Structure 1
Amino acid sequence: MASPSSADDLFDNLLKTDAKRLEEEERIAREKERDHAAKAQQRLKELIVDNSTLPVTISSIRLIGAEKTRRSFLDTLFNPILSANRNRPYTLSEALQEVGSATDKLRRFDIFHDGVSMFVDKPSPTDPSSTPTDIDIYIKATERGRIALKTGTDLGNTEGSAYGNLLWRNIFGGAESFNFNASAGTRTRSAYHGVFDMPISSDPDKRLQVDAVSSATLKPWANHEEVLKGAGAKYGWATNSGTKHSVGYTQTWRQITSLGPNASATVRAEAGDSVKSAISHTWIADRRNHPFIPTDGYLMKTVSEIAGWGPLRGDVAFWKSEMESSKSFAIPIPGIEGDSGVSFTTGFRAGMLYPLPVGFGSTSQPSRINDRFQLGGPTDVRGFKLGGLGPRDGPDAVGGDVFAAGSANLLFPVPRVGKDTPLRFQVFGNAGRLLALKDKGGNVQKSVYSTVAQLADGAPSLSAGVGLVYAHPVARFELNFSLPVVVRTGEEARKGFQFGVGINFLG
């Protein structure tokens, strides 16, 4: 006769044995289910391939799970695909391709969770209006929650900040959204930004945005604080080649205030209010295989802005244009098959600010410190302080009207970490030049031309260094040791370690 403890042990062993048996049966069932699903998927693919040229008629498209998305929005997306709205029949391959393209657009609205799926069925045989070639399309999706709240901290571009974000999705059932962000930091003392975004004609590549902003930012490199309040509207679209455009209008009230005790005469003279009324255009062609550590492809970007001229008014007027480009390619290493993880990237940026008359006047206005370019820092010309290059007035970096900067970066995997991680060593060289217009009171065109020509007069400011790069999904982190090689009189170099975080780096 077994003792009580032996009986308990026996009972426990039986329970464990039963649990293991049930777990094994569940595992086998899951494997069979996956196997059946894979075989069904394979049979479907074979069926589609075997019948790809079969003529079909799309009789209906039904979206399952769209409880808060309005019918008119979906009709604009899917109605053009229905066979009744076409002048020629589909083949099965064409029909699935068209519906797949519309389903991909549906994913890109960001109002549904990942995992949008599509399947095909024949209409009910009891439907007298159906024909043997009719098919019904079913799309299954799960809507995201309408409200998302997020708080956190950021560290980047030489400042730390805390932020809160509110995202309201699918406001009116047509993929509209409202995004409100509030932050406070060591340099940006306060910032509030609200954006209302909506697609045009149910197309994720055509969007209208209306935004408003209010911020107060310390500019320690120029001994002042800048306060901004403004609003604007922007329309963006993408072309068939994949390039992106946007045009917009903004009106912004700016104030230079809270001057430091050592503020220069230039900063003191420009203190106070100004109003900028401007239209802008942005063009982007991004063919890189990774936004932060690319090993192949190129980036081209231009930003153009006209402020204050003609009917725009305001009290500042200029044409401002900036371009950016980069090219990356992988470097093969003997003895390593496939991608070695070693890559070389070159980057180039340039910009020009051309003064214009305000309104319909005839006299061009000199540029203001609010609008001029700044150069130097851990995300562009490394080895220099923020605003460390270009014109200065005493302790203040007062910016320039013309600049050019370039970079060459060699990236390679960290030993024992591997090429499949987002961590890289880098060796880099940077160069840059920032200049103010020579004769601001004379012939503007002649002054701009002579200043541009001066960019090639002598060696630019140079730096070199080594560092670590980490490509986080939302930003690029760099810790570099920089050595200034060429420093012009008055410029502020930074020898030693620099830490940078951002999404746009010079190379």
Structure 2
Amino acid sequence: MAASEAGFDGPSARGIFGDAFRAAQGDRGATTQVIDVSQQALCLNQFHISGISRIRRGFLATLLERLFEAKTVEQAVLESREAAGKLQALGIAKHVVVELDRAEEGREGVDVHFRCEDGSRYVIKTGVDVGDNEGTASVAGRLNNIWGGGESLEAIYSRGSKTQAAFQGTLLVPVDADPQKHVELRATQVALDARPYSAHDDVRRAVSSAFRAVDAAGRSHGLRYLAEWRELCNLGSAASPTLRADAGHTLKSSVEYTFVFDDRDSATVPTSGSIVRATAEVAGLLGGDVRFAKARAEMQTNQRLGKSEWIVSTGAQGGLLWSFDGPRGRSPLADRFFLGGQTTVRGFEHRGIGPHDHNDSVGGDVFYAAGVSLLTPLPYVRTTALKGHLWANAGQLGLLDDRGLLREPKNGPGGGPPGEIRRFFMRPSVAVGFGLVYRHSIVRAELSCCLPLVAATSDRPKAGLQFGLGVQFL
């Protein structure tokens, strides 16, 4: 590493590496002199920081621990940049300039000075979010660096087309002065209108605590404890017997682990990369009214065809919910999976695949879905944000009780659970179609012409035009 590459300039660099500069100046015949000082021995004498109104001493000691262990110039530069980057990532500083200079007369080593621009203490913003066939408007306020260690407290209130009202308060506390590791405390209350897909309202009040971390390979890990009070209420006059049987209050106490790896170049319309997301949840071990194990996994890959603008995307999802209340125990409706709609299996109504009781979608305990898409450039269209879209989707959703895959054997061969499970996997609901995809910076919009090819008697196929907004699509 040359002196200029190390980020030093002017008197500060000359003060630290005076002998090297004087040696270079002694060769008057040279017009250009490159000095590699990356491995020159160095010890840190003092650290100074200015421009920040609030920073905790213990947090600062943790942040600078590796910087004070630096033995060479290269190590000091890298650790200084790392520490400065963490200050900015945690919102403690908006901008940091790092300076290294020789220690005062009579002292050995160098001094490091961080000259910072103080971070914002609070933020208030409004926004519009879309996803899962719903649009919401929200107002949010956030307090930053509450106790001088990068902590933040955020409150969000939102309303939407299905969300009658929702409030969320979140406290984030960094661990080891690392923005990639934090403890999260959260409280939420949300009231959802499930109509017209199911004639009821869903009210949820929850508190949770979690630890989340991102490792060196970019993989995210999260471990969460959740206590949630759910109420299925305000049933319509035409509510089905299933809804009436599940109406009322339930208390869930669960532990959940989440894994995510995402190296896509875009979260909305990626052209390369893949994502893998998996969640495992166990409820009832620490109390509560419901007892089950639940797992869900999804993956997506995206590949450009050669150097063209043609992009192939493939995706698959699957999930299993197993009640601990006996082999034929019925799972709570509030925890089941739902399938169908523009963001999952296109060509069907939202929540239109799987079991229904009268007009109510009642969800399922096991599901799978797969899809393949081809994004194409459009003639006479200069922007790459708008593309053509050819797709094929398939999926199925079922219950694991005496009404579903574990129903009593029928008369004749092929009945009972083995036959039902075989049919479940061999006869998915299928749709194909074509349309347009528009990539916005925060959302993906699709307009598709859908043709359902295979549908079960309980499904709600939807042929013709279908419009979707969201971030995650199959």
Give the structure-2-normalised TM-score: 0.86
1:212 matched residue in structure 2: 187
1:59 matched residue in structure 2: 45
1:479 touches 1:497 (CA, 8 Å); kept in 2?
yes
1:463 aligns with 2:438: no
2:398 touches 2:405 (CA, 8 Å); kept in 1?
no
Q: 1:498 to 1:100 in 2, by over 3 A?
A: same
- Picking from 308, 314, 321, the partner of 1:346 is 314
- Once the 2 structures are TM-superposed, how far is the Cα of residue 213 of structure 1 from its aligned partner? 0.9
Distance, in Å, in 2 between the alignment partners of 1:49 and 1:243 is 39
Distance, in Å, in 1 between the alignment partners of 2:211 and 2:185 is 9
Please give the residue correspondences for 1:16-95 in structure 2 after superposition, counting only pairs within 5 Å: 50-82=36-68, 86=69, 90-95=71-76
1:223 aligns with 2:186: no
- Picking from 246, 264, 267, the partner of 2:222 is 246
- Once the 2 structures are TM-superposed, how far is the Cα of residue 53 of structure 1 from its aligned partner? 2.0
Local SS of the residue matching 2:118: coil
Deviations 1:264-295 (CA, angstroms, capped at 9, x unpaired): 11111111111111110001111222222222
1:182 matched residue in structure 2: 157
Deviations 1:47-76 (CA, angstroms, capped at 9, x unpaired): 997222222223233333222222321221
Local SS of the residue matching 1:172: coil
Local SS of the residue matching 1:141: strand
- Picking from 86, 94, 107, the partner of 1:129 is 107
Local SS of the residue matching 1:370: helix
- Once the 2 structures are TM-superposed, how far is the Cα of residue 160 of structure 1 from its aligned partner? 3.5
2:130 touches 2:470 (CA, 8 Å); kept in 1?
no
Task: Select the structure of larger CA radius of gyration.
Answer: 1
Deviations 1:164-214 (CA, angstroms, capped at 9, x unpaired): 111111111111111111112221101111111110121112111111111
Letter in 1 for 2:138: Y
Q: 1:417 to 1:117 in 2, by over 3 A?
A: farther
1:149 matched residue in structure 2: 124
- Picking from 464, 479, 499, the partner of 2:447 is 479
Higher relative contact order (CA 8 A, sep 6+): 2
1:287 touches 1:298 (CA, 8 Å); kept in 2?
yes
1:379 matched residue in structure 2: 343
Distance, in Å, in 1 between the alignment partners of 2:49 and 2:382 is 44
- Once the 2 structures are TM-superposed, how far is the Cα of residue 497 of structure 1 from its aligned partner? 2.4
Local SS of the residue matching 2:65: helix
1:117 aligns with 2:97: yes
Letter in 2 for 1:318: F
Give the structure-1-normalised TM-score: 0.80
Letter in 2 for 1:498: Q
1:313 matched residue in structure 2: 287
Q: 1:162 to 1:41 in 2, by over 3 A?
A: same
Q: 1:383 to 1:168 in 2, by over 3 A?
A: same
Q: 1:418 to 1:90 in 2, by over 3 A?
A: farther
1:435 touches 1:451 (CA, 8 Å); kept in 2?
no
Distance, in Å, in 2 between the alignment partners of 1:100 and 1:77 is 12
1:389 aligns with 2:353: yes
1:298 aligns with 2:285: no
1:329 aligns with 2:306: no
- Picking from 401, 417, 422, the partner of 2:385 is 422
- Picking from 364, 372, 391, the partner of 1:408 is 372
- Once the 2 structures are TM-superposed, how far is the Cα of residue 99 of structure 1 from its aligned partner? 2.0
1:355 aligns with 2:323: yes
Distance, in Å, in 1 between the alignment partners of 2:34 and 2:194 is 62
- Relative to total residues, which structure has the larger helix share, 1 or 2? 1
Distance, in Å, in 2 between the alignment partners of 1:308 and 1:440 is 24
Letter in 1 for 2:107: S
Q: 1:408 to 1:63 in 2, by over 3 A?
A: farther
2:299 touches 2:315 (CA, 8 Å); kept in 1?
yes
Q: 1:53 to 1:275 in 2, by over 3 A?
A: same
1:11 matched residue in structure 2: none
- Picking from 262, 265, 270, the partner of 2:246 is 270
1:436 touches 1:451 (CA, 8 Å); kept in 2?
no
- Once the 2 structures are TM-superposed, how far is the Cα of residue 155 of structure 1 from its aligned partner? 4.7
Letter in 1 for 2:77: L
Gapped runs of 5+ residues in structure 1?
1-36, 333-338
Distance, in Å, in 1 between the alignment partners of 2:224 and 2:301 is 28
1:257 matched residue in structure 2: 233
Letter in 2 for 1:376: G
- Once the 2 structures are TM-superposed, how far is the Cα of residue 307 of structure 1 from its aligned partner? 0.6
Distance, in Å, in 2 between the alignment partners of 1:61 and 1:48 is 28
- Once the 2 structures are TM-superposed, how far is the Cα of residue 363 of structure 1 from its aligned partner? 7.7
- Once the 2 structures are TM-superposed, how far is the Cα of residue 440 of structure 1 from its aligned partner? 7.0
Distance, in Å, in 1 between the alignment partners of 2:102 and 2:422 is 71
Distance, in Å, in 2 between the alignment partners of 1:63 and 1:325 is 45
Distance, in Å, in 2 between the alignment partners of 1:112 and 1:395 is 55
Distance, in Å, in 1 between the alignment partners of 2:65 and 2:240 is 64
Deviations 1:133-174 (CA, angstroms, capped at 9, x unpaired): x33333333222212112244454333433211111111111
Q: 1:140 to 1:409 in 2, by over 3 A?
A: farther
Aligned length: 442
Distance, in Å, in 2 between the alignment partners of 1:454 and 1:270 is 28
- Once the 2 structures are TM-superposed, how far is the Cα of residue 496 of structure 1 from its aligned partner? 2.3
- Once the 2 structures are TM-superposed, how far is the Cα of residue 418 of structure 1 from its aligned partner? 4.1
Distance, in Å, in 2 between the alignment partners of 1:253 and 1:307 is 13
1:336 matched residue in structure 2: none
1:438 touches 1:451 (CA, 8 Å); kept in 2?
no
Distance, in Å, in 1 between the alignment partners of 2:335 and 2:418 is 19
Distance, in Å, in 2 between the alignment partners of 1:42 and 1:128 is 23
Local SS of the residue matching 1:283: strand
Distance, in Å, in 1 between the alignment partners of 2:422 and 2:320 is 12
